[in-house]
Chains A and B, each alone.
Chain A
């Protein structure tokens, strides 16, 4: 399974876009990139996934580089409720969570 590298923590001002990077240089051709987040004391929550193309849903956008070795999760207008740990996961079958990025949205 491909390993991912994420910054330990990030801050973002409320209302601004939060851009969370992830490196996955050993990703193989059939592995998807998933993003989950975990708000304190809750179970993880699915955000978005992608294979090759950029993806957008009501929560976020996912930008995957052409070589698929890195990706960026974009929360377009961060709110205080987006404060959470964000996990970038690359796996073809089961999910392997690392330690994620702790995003703090600042008022």
Chain B
């Protein structure tokens, strides 16, 4: 399968613990995006990378959140000191940068439950 993959698919953690998610984009895609989706809402943009550079961060991305894409391939999203409000689906998407349009390919997501 050459699509976007995310691991783990599900994560249950206790409040205050740190969690890390991984995203493997489509191999030739140079842009990688993270979104968060809560029940009944559409995905909300968190951040994106072009190659290894993090070019934009949403105000939703608090200091407890950090994302990396060290070699311009896979990316990790870490949440420190998790809170119950962090419970959501975390989606990763990738695209091939174009000035024309922005078709993003999404992974299946990681569902986080904070107890």
Which of B43, B45, B56 is within 8 Å of A44, CB to CB?
B43
Mostly, the A contact residues are: loop
- Count, A-B residue pairs, CB within 8 A: 50
Cα(A95)–Cα(B35), bound, Å = 10
Interface contact B42-A97, CB-CB below 8 Å:
yes
CB distance from A43 to the nearest CB of B (A): 3
CB distance from B66 to the nearest CB of A (A): 19
Nearest neighbor of A94 in chain B, beta-carbon distance: B45
Interface contact B108-A42, CB-CB below 8 Å:
yes
Which of B40, B41, B44, B103 is within 8 Å of A46, CB to CB?
B103
Contact string against A for B residues 70-91, beta-carbon threshold 8 Å, 1 for contact and 0 otherwise: 0000000000000000000001
Interface contact B102-A99, CB-CB below 8 Å:
no
Interface contact B104-A95, CB-CB below 8 Å:
yes
**A residues 32-77 touching B (CB-CB < 8 Å):** 32, 34, 38, 42-46, 49
Does B107 touch A at the CB level, under 8 Å? yes
**A residues 69-99 touching B (CB-CB < 8 Å):** 85, 87, 91, 93-99
CB distance from A40 to the nearest CB of B (A): 12
Nearest neighbor of A50 in chain B, beta-carbon distance: B101
Cα(A91)–Cα(B41), bound, Å = 18
Interface contact B42-A94, CB-CB below 8 Å:
no
Query: Measuring CB to CB, which residues of chain A are less than 8 angstroms from any residue of chain B?
Result: 32, 34, 38, 42-46, 49, 85, 87, 91, 93-100
Q: Which 7 pairs of residues, A with B, have the shortest CB-CB distance?
A: A97-B42, A43-B106, A97-B43, A46-B103, A44-B106, A94-B45, A49-B101
